[in-house]
Structure 1
Amino acid sequence: MLNIGHASVPQSVPTTRSTPRLADFRLDDKTSLMSMVVIRGAVRALDIALICILGIAVALSYVDEPMIIGHPYYMAAIGMTAVITVAGFDMLGLYSQASFNSFIRQMPRVLLAWTAAFALLLAGAFFLKAGHEFSRVWFAGWYVTGIVVLIGERLLVAGLVRRWTQQGRLYRRAAIYGGGAISERLIHDLEVDMDADVRITGIFDDRGDDRVDRVIAGYPRLGGLKQLVSFARSSRLDMIIVALPIAAEKRVIELTRALAILPAEVKMPARASELRFTSETYSRVGNVAMIDLLEKPIADWGSVSKWLFDKIVGTLALILLAPLMLAVAAAIKFDSRGPALFRQKRYGFNNELIEIFKFRSMYTDRCDANASKLVTKGDPRVTRVGRFIRKTSIDELPQLFNVILGNLSLVGPRPHALEAKAAGDLYDNVVDGYFARHKVKPGITGWAQINGWRGETDTPEKIQKRVECDIYYIENWSLLLDTYILLKTPFALLKSENAY
């Protein structure tokens, strides 16, 4: 039976047939998911790079031409061959997960696509009467070395993909809400589909045992909507499939709103509706058509680009600001007794607890780690240096270490302290859907901060506006927006009337 991570199956659930294709792998909540979209793109780019480098290297070795790198015939031939080869690989299905997994099955198709590309190159040179421009030794040398290198590359890729598959890193963990006939048909479709990249963790339904079986198509029913949200919080859940008829419009809307706080895709099987649209309307899980209800705000190449942006810009910022940070640390130590740095637990991505670094701005014996009481103007707990660094947000600079460590981003919704309140109430009690801001990794600065909603949140309106800005950022994220926010942040810090 399926390993379902943190969830526990009731002891009275009967044993049923196993579902090995969907369940025969080890789930690890700590193991990060690797996107097949990114892997396919990376292998395509590697194929093009290897083919071009080989073509140039062999030409430099065998062709008596001092300016070979800028030679129009050779450069055009190398570039076109690389593009044609990759197009051939694509047509032959060599960028699917199944082909990555199987080295033996790949070999004939790799040879076919590479040979076809060379045949087209030779035919083009013949018909354009440009054959005399190329070295025959170069043609032969590039072809042979290309076979060796491309097969070697595929052997390496196959080994990596097998390893990642065994670790469960290439499968999206999915939960199904709805335990009726739609669920059973969906599970059957996924089981027979070799290209499906999901593994089902369990089924959830709020209806009682008299209406829904406790085991559906071999998978346990683990509870209702409340248990689904809790399960998604406590384990890595990448996708939620709402297996209800689309005619249950009110219930689908309620579910979508409740699930909008989670950093997971929410989909509905296309079979749940009698309506049929064009193929472009649907996304696909393997070959199973799905209607997208909610998408991950940052996924695939977006995640890669944001990760690189954080690491590169964060490292440069840390290096450039190191003298200032050392000076601030010295001033804090000189001003009052205690450590220069202060650690505080806050809510991060997917509502997880993270620990962030800040410069200490309060007297050591008056620090409020959970922020149960907001800092106000003239607060006696704040030191002299603390007033300045809080007003200018210099106290946040040590969070660059968090960016390097990976639990913060440069730009994103600001992480709030555990007991932060507005007008005496916890933030999540004040703002409906508050936890939707945790669908992405929190940041040092964000859209709310550059729009004037930084500092004290003593009224419901202030936290409401801050959350609205956070949701806007999540729904409109791009690297250009991140860059714009970073550039605007220093100017926003000049307006410090709400920062104490």
Structure 2
Amino acid sequence: MIKQTHPLILTGLVGTDALMTCSSWAIAYYARFQTSLIPVSKGVPPFDVYWRLIMPILVMWIVIFHVSGLYRPRRGSSQAEEFVTIFQAVTVGMILLITFNFFYPQSSYSRLVLLYFWGMNIFAIGISRSLMRSLVDYARTKGYNLRHILIAGAGNLGRELTRKAHTYTELGLNVVGFVDDDPKKQGKMIDGTPVLGTLDKINKIIQERGVQQLFIALPMTAHDRVLELLESVDQECVDVKFIPDLMQYISLRVGVEELDGIPIVNLRESPIQGWNGVIKRGFDIAFSLLFIAICSPVMLLLAALIKLTSPGPILYKQTRMGLDGHVFDMYKFRSMRVDAESKSGAVWAKKNDPRRTRLGSFMRSTSLDELPQFFNVLAGDMSLVGPRPERPPFVQKFRERVPQYMLRHKVKSGVTGWAQINGWRGNTSIEKRIEYDLYYIQNWSVMFDLKIILMTLWKGMINKHAY
């Protein structure tokens, strides 16, 4: 596929990443135990004890790097952006190692070794990636591994493909030109690419220009012309790729499946499936356990205060709608009177809401009432990050009024989300909230989840709309 990294480049990236990681781990051990940087007071553990961990580290690093997009074409990004991604990926790996160290003290590893490894690994992989990028760019300038492509159709689709090919030079696509039946475009340059002739001349152009791949980017109205074109190039030794004119219908990530040889295009496919779903679930389990362990003293204190300051249960159970429209019970610390909705029914909280208890006002303004939802995450009803779940009566109202509202249910609901940390929580614009939720789904990655969690801890728990 076009977006895939060339197998030789991919092998080089994985190999150098593994080599740099192994070297960093070994150097971190020797820097801690074989130098006098910081005196060793508890004895020197055998190197074998540390080296046995290298294979699990390599597997985890490769998975994290894959999920972070470090093995895909960098899509025109700068070296600085790639270094930031490396920093984030290695940091996520280190958090997982530290979590392992925390829960399994019998296999405890030196924190200084982990710190040294973290810094050395980021530096080493950053340098090796920079050298690899320079080597690939040099090879491209010399004409190695270039694919000469011809685009049938100089409309919006064809022009967009040309712009992508010119921008993402690491793909190695050399656009030799367009073919198009519009007489006004003949002999002209479009976005720096010549129109070489009409579709009837395509065989001659393929042979003269040494075209290796033909991209058909004709509109849906030109169905008959596409069939004629396919029949015409049947005589040529050229790869044919078809770009469907479906951009206006795509709302989530697009994907292609196959049903016994029949290609099927997904226009509304969630990216969090398969291995991505497994990785996100593992991320949720690890971090929810960590947050439960860290927050347990606060949760015990709040539970005692709720019981002492107002009659009624400590926890409040509320039905919410989550993944694929399934409902579940979401838990919160009770922040309102027991009979808060006995007369009004399901309504949103409002500023200075008289239904709140005195402690409840504080908990809601600081989002501390949401802490029990880590148990929802652990149970699998929710994720740490995702669109906030809504109550079914509100969902029924919004789905009729807000376009694409139900797409937010293509992923698990979250304790926090991209919309919430950008201020769209509580009684705010539903349209803006959906816009941010869909952006999150379309651009999901582990790094994006980690960014949202860190931003939540930094600025998202206290909000003027949290009441």
Provide the TM-score with structure 1 as the length reference: 0.42
